[in-house]
Structure formats: C-alpha cells, structure tokens
Chain A
Amino acid sequence: GIQVEQSPPDLILQEGANSTLRCNFSDSVNNLQWFHQNPWGQLINLFYIPSGTKQNGRLSATTVATERYSLLYISSSQTTDSGVYFCAVRTNAGKSTFGDGTTLTVKP
C-alpha cells in the first residue's frame, strides 16, 4: 500500500516562530488533507489540498502532486498551535492512509 512519511517527528518552537512540516507519499493520490489533533484528541481539518496552495490565516499548505509531497507552513506560532499534525492521503481505491504525525510544542 501507499506509504506516508511525515517530518520532523517532533518540533519544539518558541512562540512567534515559523515552521514547515513535510509529508511525503509514495504513490499518486487524489485526496490529501492536513489535520491538527489537539491535546483533547479532537481531529480538526486544516486543509483539503490534493494539489496547489491554500492559505488560512497563519497557516498555509502546498502540495506538489507530481513530486509526491506536501508542506504545511505555520507562521507566528502560538501555544494553541501545539498538538499533533497529521497528513492523510487517499487513492482512487478509497482507502485513507495517515502519516505518523509531527508533534509540535510551542513554548511561551
């Protein structure tokens, strides 16, 4: 099956810093989403981005489907950004595959 690798596995930042999270996938996909899992376990949808670039406030994402990677940018990080960020892909077969996530800790 498709492999999804996220890097880095862990990231510690000071409040106000910027960061880039990466997601590599091993095969063509027609669906890619980024999620934030908060400390209470809730999975929050950030972006649906199978290709191209999107921005939502301090967050933006870019997927280069031909090169099989996606990037999530967090600017001016806040303590509330802490949590685990997951990349999830789906192929035409309909099965979703999640990466292992990047655990982000933002310190005040």
Chain B
Amino acid sequence: DSGVTQTPKHLITATGQRVTLRCSPRSGDLSVYWYQQSLDQGLQFLIQYYNGEERAKGNILERFSAQQFPDLHSELNLSSLELGDSALYFCASSVATETAQETQYFGPGTRLLVL
C-alpha cells in the first residue's frame, strides 16, 4: 500500500458526460500528479500540483481540469467525455518538487469506461 488513495475504483459513464476523480496524497506529501494510461498511448503525464498551485503541465486536454485543495487532496475533472477517454487514471504524490528530485508514489488508479 503506497498510502495514496483514489476514488472511485471504477467508473462507467456515457459519452458527453462529466466525471470527477479524487485523490488523497500520502500524509505529508505536498505534490500531486495525474497520469492517464490507455492502451494506445501508454502512460502519459497530465498535470502536477504543488501545495495548491499548478506546477507542471503535460498532455492534458482542454476538456480536462484539475485542482488541489487546501487539505492537499486533488480532483481531476473530465468533461464532454469521449470513447477515447476510457483509460486507467493514476494519481501519484511526492514530498516536494522544487528540483523534481524525489520519489513518486502511485495510487491504485481509477478505471474509467466511457460507453
């Protein structure tokens, strides 16, 4: 158990809908990262937050947004869902991020299926 929790574990929804994925980092970790793992594109970095502020942005679509709250938990919002958004979404956390020199610990993931 990495100490990172994600809810829900599974999510089934329809095209055009909006969903919210939630992540609680390990105790004491200030950074949260979101990743998408799909069959055709592998593991892709989406976005990182550090202590409530956006720190780095990857291949995140405009239909997707994220935020990190004062209690350090994070939410990833996916809207206008398409079939291709079906994937495993991971959250990871780490202690700090000023130099990127730290270990990331991954949560169990949320498996999203868009029908």
Contacts and interface: CB of A to CB of B under 8 A. Distances in A.
Given A30-B101, A94-B48, A96-B35, 16 more contacts: A30-B100, A41-B88, A42-B108, A44-B2, A45-B2, A86-B43, A88-B104, A91-B100, A92-B99, A93-B56, A95-B58, A97-B45, A98-B42, A100-B42, A101-B42, A101-B43
Interface of A: 30-31, 33, 35, 41-45, 48, 50, 86, 88, 90-98, 100-101
Interface in B52-108: 55-58, 88, 90, 97, 99-106, 108
27 contacts: A30-B99, A30-B101, A31-B101, A31-B102, A33-B104, A41-B88, A41-B109, A42-B106, A43-B90, A44-B106, A45-B2, A45-B103, A86-B43, A88-B43, A90-B100, A92-B99, A93-B56, A94-B55, A94-B56, A94-B97, A95-B57, A95-B58, A96-B104, A97-B45, A98-B42, A98-B44, A101-B43
